[in-house]
Amino acid sequence: MPKDFRATTLERAIGRQLAGWRDERQLSLTEAGQRVGFSSAKLSMMENAVQPSAVLDIMALGYVYQVPAEEWQAVVRQAQCAEQARALDNAVLFDPAADFANLVFEATVLRTFTTDLVPALFQLADYAKLVLDDTRFPAQAAVREAWEGRVGGRDPLLVHAVCSEAALRPVVGGPRVMKAQLLHLMEISELDTVSLRVVPFTAGAHPAMGTPFTLLSFAHRQHDDVAYFETFVRGEYVEGAGETEGCARRFAGVGELALGEGESLELIAEAAAEL
């Protein structure tokens, strides 16, 4: 067992699965241990994720419990993934938050929805410094620069941005900073390659409530759509076709509730005038 072992959520899920197999067969720890040749203490530690569950041990339990092959094989794959992750010692091999600016530079179409923040592409430095920590600010600045580098080029990035009215109302950094940010949004909205729309409070519930995301599309046929999600902890790419199609549907659903571009511009101007 690794020194100072701390079970991951995946390892805890594996333990629950092992305990579920035993419970389904109405075996005590002692009875199950005797059948498989484990001590009851070892089996208990596996089920409670007090120690990692070895692949061979899971296979032995699957055989003794007569678990369908596809079921125990799935748990074996989970254990292998957990073992590989632990072997890497949680090393960060690839950081989507740091890489995101590269995808923005390569994309042909970008769809983004934000809940309580101005879309990252359009954040002024004074605004971004107040809503991001020191580790995330450089990455966000790179994203903005990547987009700005595409605005006047021969192959500009098409941006469809939708934000909640909640992104316009908080007075981030005081009236001066927030007003400058809102005026910048109004200026950005005049670009031919940008569609900026707002979901008003009066729209009520919508398909992407509480979940900001960005969906990127690319020119190369071999490059599928990629969805990007970010929290204050980390960024994450989602690349499965079903998942990105789900994001596209949600974005379309939000778009149906958003104001038109002209009405959105009026709402942004109204928010700026109130500062």
Burial of 101 (0-12, 13-18, 19+ CB in 10 A): buried
Of 238, 230, 226, nearest to 135 (Cα)? 230
Q: How confident is the model at residue 88 (pLDDT cuts 50, 70, 90)?
A: confident
Of 162, 217, 157, nearest to 185 (Cα)? 162
Of 139, 112, 151, 141, nearest to 255 (Cα)? 112
Q: To the nearest whole number, what is the mean pLDDT of the chain?
A: 92
What is the structure's pLDDT at 83?
87
Q: Contact, 140 vs 243, CB < 8 A? A: no
Cα separation, 234 vs 95, in Å, equals 8
What is the structure's pLDDT at 3?
64
Burial of 59 (0-12, 13-18, 19+ CB in 10 A): middle
What is the structure's pLDDT at 5?
81
Given a cut of 80, whether residue 11 has pLDDT beyond it is yes
Residues 229-255: what's their mean pLDDT? 93
What is the structure's pLDDT at 85?
80
What is 9-88's CATH topology?
Answer: 434 Repressor (Amino-terminal Domain) (1.10.260)
Given a cut of 60, whether residue 1 has pLDDT beyond it is no
pTM: 0.82
Given a cut of 80, whether residue 86 has pLDDT beyond it is no
pLDDT, tens digit, 9 for 90 and up, residues 162-211: 999 999 999 999 999 999 999 999 999 999 999 999 999 999 888 888 89
Q: How confident is the model at residue 2 (pLDDT cuts 50, 70, 90)?
A: low
What is 96-274's CATH topology?
Answer: Endonuclease; Chain A (3.30.870)
Residue ranges of the domains in the chain? 9-88, 96-274
Residues 218-245: what's their mean pLDDT? 92
In percent, how much of the chain has pLDDT > 70? 97
SS3 of the chain: the string is CCCCCCCCHHHHHHHHHHHHHHHHCCCCHHHHHHHHCCCHHHHHHHHCCCCCCCHHHHHHHHHHCCCCHHHHHHHHHHHHHHHHHHHCCCCCCCCHHHHHHHHHHHCCEEEEEECCCCCHHHCCHHHHHHHCCCCCHHHHHHHHHHHHHHHCCCCCCEEEEEEEHHHCCCCCCCHHHHHHHHHHHHHHCCCCCEEEEEECHHHCCCCCCCCCEEEEECCCCCCCCEEEEECCCCEEEECCHHHHHHHHHHHHHHHHHCCCHHHHHHHHHHHHHCC
pLDDT, tens digit, 9 for 90 and up, residues 59-76: 999 999 999 999 999 999
What is the structure's pLDDT at 153?
75
> Residue 167 has which token pair?
């992104």
Cα separation, 89 vs 71, in Å, equals 28
Given a cut of 90, whether residue 9 has pLDDT beyond it is no
Domains 9-88 and 96-274 share a fold: no
